[in-house]
Amino acid sequence: MLLGIKFTHQLTGHFPAIHYLYIVIIVCLVLMILAIAFIGVYISIKNRKRKKDIKRKNVADNLIQRVLFSDEEQNNTDKPRYKGYKLVRDANFRRILTAEILSARKNISGASAERLKQMYEELHLEKHALLNTDSRYWHIKAKGLQELAIMEMRDYVDIIIPYADHPNELVRIEAQAAIVKLQGYKGLLFLDTVTYPVSDWQQIKLLHELSNFQENQSFVNIESWLQSANYSVIIFAMRIASNNHLFNIHDNIMACMDHEEPRVRLRAIQTLNEIYTEHTTDGLKKRFAFETHHNQIAILKVLQTIGTERDVTFMFDYLDNDNNELRLTLIRTIATISDQKLQALEKFPRIKEAPWAEMMMQIKGEIEKYELANINF
């Protein structure tokens, strides 16, 4: 066809548009054939790799299974491990075997899990996890740290500690979780040096890890954490104090009420609700006037639990303010802690005016409902 086009071109001296179309169609066809061939080769390589991976996974599963029950198969104790030594030289097999060991470790406990850990160490898979922690890619680094934690590689905690203050948040999260998982409260020493914020979610995760450690823990560093330049460390220390009812640091927590960060002060208020003493209400009342509305409401909620009749008078000073939520919380608190209940509010001169009258009605309804529920109970 191309020859024909060339011939026509020679005869006529010009190149008709239809011939350009032919060339475009031919080029497109060639490109399509090439693309199909490429896709075919790609799919075939992918399939071959997938099949090989399935084979590797089966071999890895068999190996793990035999190790899990190696005490019951006396004759096979050494055989699977020997096979493992040779196979882990292949990076692909190593990747699959590691993934399977980690999955099994998450699902299986007891003596079988210990044997799994032994196998992991015997095949020196932790060395590869350590290499991963050195990677320049954060996700590989995080994966390496996670792997060391799951496999409880306590000997490598010192290597993990510097990552607890890594600029990448996800690396930091994994490192902090790994240290606490491996060392419990002792691992919290990273709080001495961490400069990046420890998020609320991360704090909850760490507290969850700590709940697995039942033995008596010492909280020697908690006072210094309460003075940290990193406000999230102060908040976390207060969460620990609250969870463990550390009454001995009540005054340190009260001192946090003078912190410039409102979130620290809010956590201090909530913590004081858990470890209050006879001086707590006075400390809270003293600071009430200087607090944000949000924190004032938090103080009132604490007073609902720990306040007494003698705390009622100070609340009348704030009833005449512009914030309805605060007004309502004040009324609710007075009604909760006063011996006279709602009648105590009659001392307030504007109690019959809107919106105080409506608020009184609402609280009255709440009290009736509460009393009814208690009778039924």
Among 50, 106, 294, 310, binds another protein (CB under 8 A): 106
Hey, which residues between 64 and 83 contact another protein (CB under 8 A)?
A: 64-65, 68-69, 72
Q: Can you tell me the distance from the alpha carbon of 188 to that of 192, in angstroms, rounded to the nearest whole number? A: 8
With contacts defined by CB under 8 A, how many residues of the chain interact with another protein?
A: 19
Among 75, 86, 110, 339, binds another protein (CB under 8 A): 110
Both tokens assigned to 339: 């011996």
113 lies in the site for another protein, by CB under 8 A? yes
Q: How many angstroms separate the Cα of 296 from the Cα of each of 48, 123, 239, 267, 309?
A: 66, 59, 20, 12, 19
Hey, which residues between 217 and 236 contact another protein (CB under 8 A)?
A: none
Q: Are 344 and 315 in contact (CB under 8 A)?
A: no
Which listed range, 24-32, 107-115, 159-167, 235-243, lies at the site for another protein (CB under 8 A)?
107-115
Which listed range, 6-14, 16-24, 59-67, 274-282, lies at the site for another protein (CB under 8 A)?
59-67
104 lies in the site for another protein, by CB under 8 A? yes
Q: Which is nearer to another protein, 62 or 243 (CB)?
A: 62
Q: Can you tell me the distance from the alpha carbon of 124 to that of 142, in angstroms, rounded to the nearest whole number? A: 19
Q: What is the CA radius of gyration of the chain?
A: 35
Among 56, 94, 105, 115, binds another protein (CB under 8 A): 105
- Least Å from the CB of residue 210 to another protein: 15
59 lies in the site for another protein, by CB under 8 A? no
Q: Which is nearer to another protein, 20 or 69 (CB)?
A: 69
- Least Å from the CB of residue 48 to another protein: 21
Q: Which is nearer to another protein, 65 or 221 (CB)?
A: 65
- Least Å from the CB of residue 173 to another protein: 18
- Least Å from the CB of residue 330 to another protein: 37
123 lies in the site for another protein, by CB under 8 A? no
103 lies in the site for another protein, by CB under 8 A? yes
DSSP-assigned states of every residue in 182-217 = HHGGGGGGGGGT--S---HHHHHHHHHHHTT--S--
61 lies in the site for another protein, by CB under 8 A? yes
Q: Are 239 and 222 in contact (CB under 8 A)?
A: no
Query: How is residue 339 annotated by DSSP?
Result: T
Q: Are 228 and 240 in contact (CB under 8 A)?
A: no
Q: Are 194 and 164 in contact (CB under 8 A)?
A: yes
CB atoms within 10 A of CB 141: 21
7 lies in the site for another protein, by CB under 8 A? no
CB atoms within 10 A of CB 82: 9
Among 107, 216, 218, 374, binds another protein (CB under 8 A): 107
Q: Are 177 and 209 in contact (CB under 8 A)?
A: yes
Q: Are 94 and 67 in contact (CB under 8 A)?
A: no
Residue ranges in contact with another protein by CB under 8 A: 57, 61, 64-65, 68-69, 72, 100, 103-113
